[in-house]
């Protein structure tokens, strides 16, 4: 990944003793109006479950976030300009919002953000959850996932182990971001399949085909953005194959997952599941329909057939 011109300028300025944030004529290279009351368009109140609330002055640059823009006029309609954030986000929500003000330096800011606030995969996942909530734009996430990829072995000595498991916070990401995280970490094929299976089990509304379609969409988007990145292409091929493998799992496992999503787990026995699959000739959807509608398997099927 080539360094952007702004990043090169920042490096040269630092090497020659220049400041990033200073009071010299013209200010520092990264100076912006973020946090200043002067010229502020609106003020956002941020609470952390009632603890340590803060006020943040925002300007037109913050309109790069559609979410923050919606908050700008919400009090006209009886709403509130107050948001409640996860206390774990307290230390980095302001650095994330500052990135909206100087998009040309996004690579620099992401690097500094991860150095200061994300020394583990779990901490980096918290950063990505906050960034998604604040609705940061595509350039931020492109830089973020590139930085995640460069840190994969630094964050986990077991990243290439087939038993590598992502933290539970990964299961709570939207599908597209979960897939991009997995691609950036580039685990083994076996670990990719097992982590995607865990994600499916944790997401009630997601089907195997939806996961596969999502992986294909991300693969196409990545190819359009970086057509010459062979490593990224190989990585997405692995993720797409791992997603496709979810639909090839044993029918009993897939049916069990479907029953769990619909709150029916525990209401039918393993024998009933096996019998319903046999009666439906292995068709998971048809077997689920039998069990959920109360039809059940044909008489005697649970005991081995009549």
pLDDT given for residue 50 in this prediction: 67
pLDDT attached to residue 252: 67
Rounded Cα–Cα distance for residues 50 and 114 (Å): 27
Residue 146's pLDDT is what?
92
Token couple for 294: 């109360």
Contact between 161 and 191 under an 8 Å Cβ cutoff? The reply is yes
pLDDT at 173 (0 to 100):
95
Position 11 scores a pLDDT of 44
The per-residue pLDDT for 172 is 94
Collect contacts of 205-211 with beta carbons under 8 A, ≥24 apart.
205/261, 206/175, 208/243, 208/246, 208/247, 208/249, 208/254, 209/247, 210/175, 211/175, 211/243, 211/246
- Torsion 262-266-268-269 (CA) sign: positive
Structure tokens at 290: 């039998």
**Among 59, 143, 140, 67, residue whose Cα is nearest residue 101:** 59
- The model's pTM is 0.72
Q: Smallest Cα–Cα separation from 105: which of 142, 140, 57?
A: 140
Contact 141, 131 (CB under 8 A): yes
Give the pLDDT of residue 27: 44
Per run of 10 residues, the mean pLDDT along the chain (length 306 residues) is 43 43 44 73 82 82 83 65 88 88 87 89 94 92 93 84 92 94 93 90 82 91 81 89 77 71 75 81 81 61 42
241 Cβ contact list (under 8 Å, min separation 6): 189
Contact status, residue 37 vs residue 12, Cβ threshold 8 Å: no
CA dist 288 and 302 (Å) reads 15
Q: What is the pLDDT of residue 228?
A: 78
Q: How many CB atoms lie within 10 A of CB 69?
A: 16
- C-alpha 20: how far from chain center: 30
Contact 86, 94 (CB under 8 A): no
Q: How confident is the model at residue 21, as a pLDDT?
A: 42
């Amino acid at each position: 990944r080539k360094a952007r011109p702004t990043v090169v300028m920042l490096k040269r300025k630092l090497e020659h003793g220049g400041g990033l944030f200073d009071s010299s004529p013209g200010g520092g290279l990264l100076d912006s109006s973020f946090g200043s009351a002067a010229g502020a368009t609106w003020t956002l109140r941020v609470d952390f479950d009632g603890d340590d609330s803060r006020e943040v002055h925002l300007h037109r640059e913050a309109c790069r976030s559609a979410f923050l823009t919606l908050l700008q006029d919400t009090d006209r309609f009886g709403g509130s300009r107050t948001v409640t954030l996860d206390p774990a986000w307290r230390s980095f929500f302001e650095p994330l919002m500052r990135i909206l003000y100087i998009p040309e330096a996004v690579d620099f800011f992401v690097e500094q953000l991860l150095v200061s606030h994300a020394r583990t995969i779990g901490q980096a996942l918290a950063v990505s959850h906050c960034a998604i909530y604040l609705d940061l734009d595509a350039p931020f996430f492109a830089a973020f996932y590139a930085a995640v990829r460069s840190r994969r072995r630094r964050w986990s000595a077991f990243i290439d182990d087939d038993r590598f498991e992502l933290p539970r916070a990964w299961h709570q990401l939207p599908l597209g971001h979960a897939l991009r995280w997995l691609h950036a970490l580039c685990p083994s094929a076996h670990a990719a399949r097992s982590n995607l299976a865990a994600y499916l089990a944790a997401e009630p509304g997601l089907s195997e085909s939806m996961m596969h379609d999502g992986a294909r969409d991300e693969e196409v988007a990545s190819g359009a953005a970086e057509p010459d990145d062979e490593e990224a292409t190989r990585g997405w091929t692995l993720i797409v194959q791992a997603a496709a493998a979810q639909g090839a799992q044993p029918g009993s496992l897939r049916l069990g997952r479907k029953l769990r999503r619909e709150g029916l787990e525990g209401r039918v026995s393993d024998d009933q599941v096996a019998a319903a699959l046999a009666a439906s000739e292995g068709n998971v959807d048809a077997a689920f329909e039998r069990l959920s509608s109360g039809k059940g398997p044909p008489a005697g099927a649970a005991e081995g057939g009549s």
